[in-house]
Amino acid sequence: MRFSRSAAVVPLAASLLLGTGAVATASPVVLTLPPPTGPRPVGTAALHLVDHQRVDPWGAPGSPRELMISLWYPARDTGRYPVAPWLPPAAAARYAIDNGVAPGDLRVPDTHGHDGAPIDRCGRLPVVLYSPGNDSFRSANTVVVEELASRGYLVVTIDHTHDGLVEFPGGRVSVPVPDGPATGEAMAAARVADVRFVLDQLTALDTGANPDVDGHPLPRGLRGGIDLARVGMFGYSAGATTTAATLHADPRVRAGIGVDGAVTGPVVTAGLDRPYLLMNARASRQTLPDLATFWSNLRGWKRDITLTGAAHATYGDLAVLLPQAAPLLGLNQAEVEAEIGTVAPARSVAVQQAYPTAFFDRHFRHTGHLVDGPSTRFPEVVFTP
């Protein structure tokens, strides 16, 4: 397990395979993710992007910044389109090896996203951008992403190259760069630039252009279907830091959710005039002074919620995947709870599906009042004034 490169020390349980006492198994442990609860099936498509206006600080000398993103959306006619894996094959194998497990002993889950399925055009789709944590990857919060897509959002998940495990077309895998004195500040700036570049590509996609450098076919129905007047963003851990910084840097992003992460940089004192939700476990206004300052400088709609019994990794797919992998890893219940808290996995999933959806529904669809205050449906969710 690595730690966030942000100024505040926030543990990042981005790795699923945490134990060193993993035991051999005769047949692989096959992990599964819970399905989304929305009314529509989900489609997905991966795109390989290159930003020729930026040199990658950690790439080959003079090489441009490369990114992988995925589009997640409400789909139709999904029957002939296979579901996408949680991680592509080379990245999945590297993920297992990096964490002390033979690739043949564990199979990462399939998602519920049908690769390349046509878009269900239920009007122009509001957009939600997703930024993962440090040393993580764009599929780490698939439970939330699929829920939003099943309810009519176009969700764009972003891998920040060299800050996590990324597989590019052809099986080339990029791994995180080592931490260093200048890495944190440079990576924070690169992350925000990544998101802004992706926003530019969404504008191109809406006009019918295909920015994928390999010519990967786009799902039918994308042209003219992106509502760029309704763009939100959420991020986990270091992705929460990226979310707040992006809202400060780019007015195109109209609402944000910071999931258990620090806030650093100019946005701390400048604040924001747009809606913002804090979803806390260990990173809170009580533990992080900059987060408290940021909160006091928010001038728009704001809420601060905490899931009772949560740990840092309660928010994310790890909350349901780690208990499934625990026997293979030789982890007991106390060791599992040290990572994902004492929240039952089903309740973690329910909160993760309900609250981000309600937040974006409230601000983009004028529904979703679950985020206005405490609810008898979720007594474990505490609102802090």
Q: What is the pLDDT of residues 248-289, one digit of tens each?
A: 999 999 999 999 999 999 999 999 999 999 999 988 899 999
Mean confidence (pLDDT) of the chain? 91
Question: Residue 324 is part of which domain span?
Answer: 2-383
CATH for 207? 3.40.50.1820
Average pLDDT over residues 180-199: 92
Residue pair 13/318 in contact (Cβ under 8 Å)? The answer is yes
Q: What confidence tier does 26 reach under pLDDT thresholds 50, 70, 90? A: low
Average pLDDT over residues 124-140: 96
Q: What confidence tier does 145 reach under pLDDT thresholds 50, 70, 90? A: very high
Q: What confidence tier does 7 reach under pLDDT thresholds 50, 70, 90? A: very low
pLDDT in tens, 208-238: 999 999 999 999 999 999 999 999 999 999 9
pLDDT value for 97: 83
Compare 91 and 102 and report the one with higher pLDDT: 91
* Residue 28 C-beta-side C-alpha neighbours within 13 Å: 14
Task: Report phi then psi at 250, rounded to 5.
Answer: -140, 110
Q: Look at the block and give the residue holding tokens 């998940």.
A: 157
Q: How many domains does the chain have?
A: 1
pLDDT value for 95: 86
pLDDT value for 262: 95
Kindly state the tokens that stand for 78. 């999904």
User: How far apart are the C-alpha atoms of 60 and 51, rounded to whole Å?
Assistant: 14
Q: Indicate if the pLDDT at residue 347 is higher than 90.
A: yes
pLDDT value for 99: 73
pLDDT in tens, 311-338: 999 999 999 999 999 998 889 999 999 9
User: How far apart are the C-alpha atoms of 282 and 307, rounded to whole Å?
Assistant: 10
Alpha helices for 207-288 (secondary structure H): 238-249, 267-270
Question: Residue 42: CB partners within 8 Å, gap ≥ 6?
Answer: 36, 72, 73, 74, 75, 111, 112, 113, 114, 146, 149, 150
Residue pair 250/147 in contact (Cβ under 8 Å)? The answer is no
pLDDT in tens, 291-314: 999 999 999 999 999 999 999 999
Alpha helices for the chain (secondary structure H): 89-98, 142-150, 183-206, 238-249, 267-270, 289-296, 318-329, 333-340, 345-364
Q: Look at the block and give the residue holding tokens 């498509």.
A: 45
Average pLDDT over residues 83-95: 94
Query: If 0-12 CB within 10 Å is exposed, 13-18 middle and 19+ buried, where does residue 76 land?
Result: middle
Residue pair 95/139 in contact (Cβ under 8 Å)? The answer is no
- Residue 260's SS3 state is coil
Average pLDDT over residues 336-342: 95
Q: Indicate if the pLDDT at residue 25 is higher than 70.
A: no
Kindly state the tokens that stand for 4. 């966030």
